[in-house]
Structure 1
Amino acid sequence: MTTTDTPVLTPTCQPSPFTTAGLLSALESCWAAIRTRHPEVPAAVLIVGSGSPATGSKSMKWGHFASLRWQHGDQQLPEVLISGEGLKRTPAEVFTTLLHEATHGLADTRGVQDTSRQGRWHNKKFATLAAELGLTAVKDDKLGYSPCTLNDTTAADYADVITTLADALKAYRHPEPTGDGKQRTNNNNGVSAECECPRKIRLSGKAFEEGPIVCAACTAAFLPDEIDRDTYEHPTFGPACTHGDALADDTRQIGGCEICGTPGVPVMRTSDPDPRVPQLVCVNQQSCASHFDGTDSEDLMVFYDPTGAKYGIPTYPFKMAPTGLATVRQLRARGLRPGGQEIAAQILWRRGDRRAYLYRIDLAKPKRQATPAQRAAIDKALTARRTCGTCGQLRDYYIPTRTGACLDCTEVKR
């Protein structure tokens, strides 16, 4: 070969009509266009990866939003994944996935919990935010309001970037082979229920039917996957309010009890001029303990001791506390705390088995605020709870203590 000969170069494996950089550039242009119209949507690292399920019983994943997954200098950035398998869809459908993940980003910015069940169930808060970004959310029995479609107005607003995205969608990823997805048809371990933390418990079907079990951490009921959390109503406790006919007919009337709220029951008008005392109560001035706990009714005024002569401190029946007093929970809702003051009064109900102490609101103090060091320690502890002990990645959910690994690593171990 002479010095004037042109060397023959090995052709690149990338065909000229398609490059990975061009695909990511188009996706990032779409994300930038979304952020231009909705500045609260956070900046994110966009990646293309696998959306194939681990087993045949699970559905394909088109994308995900993971908070604080990437580190850029001193800043933590979320991750937005677009599955390679989903690139086979139309450009409008791929852009809908981007808007879907942008909705999660908007919820993350505003501190709104828009999903539960480890991100599978999308609640009404997600549907509201999706509508704000121009999507129409349709409810699914298993996923909630996860399925979304692009509005005509939104499609017109983003027509240019969707066209640019269409030019870049030249390839897609083949789904990975999975098993036949056979699962057990019976379960001898009762009902598996989950709250919004999410934490799981397992109990018998009979125990679950007796009433809801509420998580003390998130105050949400433990529910199985097949129950719609948005429409679930706690069962009522005990029978309706029905009291005896101890008074003469001329002292009674049919109306609504101001204690239990049951309409169309025999009630009487009390003679106590105190405005704090309900005027229309069930006959015999009986409170409605039977309406709440299924037991026999009790005298409405048995716990009315405003001077404290009987119980040692001023005592009032349920829902009859005077203004200016509040329980610890009510103070907390106002951003206050008792602040070391003495108990001012108490509420008794259910034959005195239940009580709540009352404190003066005017003597309450503001709740203490955590110091920056305390907040940093809390953030560090919560970050450790979301870090997988196997792969070391930071997840957007708490790592189960039973396995010490994230769901992906646990699935691989199986």
Structure 2
Amino acid sequence: MIFTHFFAIISLVTASVALPAAVPGIITVPLDRVDSTSDLKNAGSFAARAANRYISRSVETRSTLPSKLMPRQVASKEEGFASIFRRQKGDDGINTAKNVNITVLQGGALRMRIDVGTPPRPYGVALDSSSADLWLASPDCKTCVGYEPYVASKSSTGKVSDKKFVVAYNEGSLRVDVTGVTDDLIFGGFPIKQQPFAQADKIPKGFQDVPFDGVLGLAFSAHSEQKAPPLLQSLVDQKVIKSASFALHIPAGKKQATMTIGGIDPTKFSGEIDFVPVDNAAGQWGLNIDQIVAQGKAVDVGTKKGILDTGTSVLLGPMEDVRKVFAAIPGSAEMANGTFTVPCNQDNSFALKLGGKDYGLNGVDFLDEIFSVAGPNNANCVAALSGDQKIKSWVIGTPFLQKFYTVWDLSVPRFGLAKKVE
């Protein structure tokens, strides 16, 4: 999670929906896994774990645990669903849904290509559902080493404003100084005219030496420092697509993922899509969690608020609540800075109950993708769930999101989950 504002959540109701017929004309765009040469210490801390969506990390263990971390080998209602399906089909010249390949960075962060300006120039941007602003590097940004700069003067449609502001992440600990701009861009093959976004004049160390050229926020306009419409909403407003929605298919352990823009791809999931309402009052993808479940039993936690975050490589929760989760898992142990281990050969399970239904991570799905702990007989693995004293909501990151086919509908708003087809 880069950006962390917390808010009140409304109750959720699940809607189960039947699988529709295949949609013609869907285009696939790939995403690849990219490694970074950077190294962060103490990755169990909240800020570090958030930054580790993009950066390789090492974790220091407590002296009482004589183990070291090592790279781990991968051992609705029918009408509700039909509304998305209808919106992506039309005969009025408005485009149907389109698949876009996206890159899965080490640790689970997602990167996709957008093209900006006239003539268009390509940029790789990190997808972040917990923020709402798009920014690229300014040519005058001295800290933006390795970034492909956006140069408005080289675009016949680019305009730089006199508005300067700050895009803040990690509760303000990471601050990007930016200037407002507008330009034409292409998002997943769809053109957008005069989209407001920003160019970075100065970025913090946490954003340096990373494998992308900027950040594309996927949250709602209320969460935008610029109060700019989301790219999906701009596509709807300009009558390019019908549905302000996208879907994510993230195969576990693979470099290529898929974002479907403007609808769904029935070839990527099986069975039904279950929808739960989203509370976007603060502009984020907020959920109410009915129950936290560990080893098949409900855990009595202090908070059941959740935030969906494509940018976080782990699951995060309030420290005391996370400790209660691991107390229910036999053989678990707490390490430094909120990181926990579990027996590698045990059928560990963790689930979120949403809309009355459990969505679980079992076995290897509940283990960190990057590290294992080499203890006695290499028996302990780092869990995909960490705790932090600073946060007050559950952060639902890529270990959960890659387990399912997910549908993000800004117009209702609502969030859908289905069984993923690998």
TM-score if structure 2 supplies the norm length?
0.23
Larger Rg: 1
Relative to its length, the structure with more strand (as a share) is 2
Relative to its length, the structure with more helix (as a share) is 1
